[in-house]
Chain A
Amino acid sequence: MESTVIQVNNLTKKFGAFKAVDAISFEVQAGEIFGFLGANGAGKTTAMRMLTGLSRPSSGEASVAGYDVYRQAEQIKQNIGYMSQKFSLYEDLSVKQNIRFYGGIYGMSRQAIRDKTEEILQNLQLESVAKQLVQSLPLGWKQRLAFSVALMHDPTIVFLDEPTGGVDPVTRRQFWEMIYEAAHTGKTIFVTTHYMDEAEYCDRVSIMVAGKIEALDSPKGLKETFSADSMDDVFLRLAREG
Chain B
Amino acid sequence: MTAISIQQISKSYDGTPALKGLSFEVQAGELFGLIGPDGAGKTSLFRILTTLLLPDEGQASVVGYDVVKEYKEIRKRVGYMPGRFSLYQDLSVEENLNFFATIFGTSIEENYDLIRDIYVQIEPFKKRLAGKLSGGMKQKLALCCALIHKPEALFLDEPTTGVDAVSRKEFWDMLKRLKAKGITILVSTPYMDEASMCERIALIQHGQILSIDSPQNIISAFNKPLFTIQGGNFYALLRDLRSYEETEQVLPFGDSLHLTTYRERDAKVIQNWLTEKGHQDIQVKQQQAGIEDVFLDLLQTQAS
Contacts and interface: CB of A to CB of B under 8 A. Distances in A.
Nearest to B168: A194
Given A40-B135, A235-B164, 12 more contacts: A139-B38, A166-B38, A166-B161, A166-B190, A168-B190, A170-B37, A171-B38, A173-B251, A176-B252, A197-B253, A197-B254, A232-B193
A135 to B, nearest CB: 12
A230 B165 CA distance: 12
Interface in B142-186: 158, 161-169
Interface in B226-248: 234-235, 238
B166 A240 contact: yes
Interface of B: 36-40, 83, 134-137, 158, 161-169, 190-193, 234-235, 238, 251-255, 292, 295-296, 299-300
Interface in A198-242: 200-201, 219-220, 230-232, 235-236, 239-240
A236 B168 CA distance: 10
A235 B190 contact: no
Contacts of A42: 164
A166 B162 contact: yes
A40 B164 contact: yes
Contacts of A232: 165, 193
Contacts of B255: 200, 219-220, 230
A31 to B, nearest CB: 12
A41 B136 contact: yes
Interface of A: 38-42, 85, 138-140, 162, 165-171, 173, 176-177, 180, 184, 194-197, 200-201, 219-220, 230-232, 235-236, 239-240
Given A167-B38, A167-B190, A170-B37, A196 B165 contact: yes
A194 B163 CA distance: 7
A240 B36 CA distance: 30
A94 B192 CA distance: 33
Contacts of A166: 38, 83, 158, 161-162, 190
A226 B83 CA distance: 34
B162 A162 contact: yes
Contacts of A85: 162
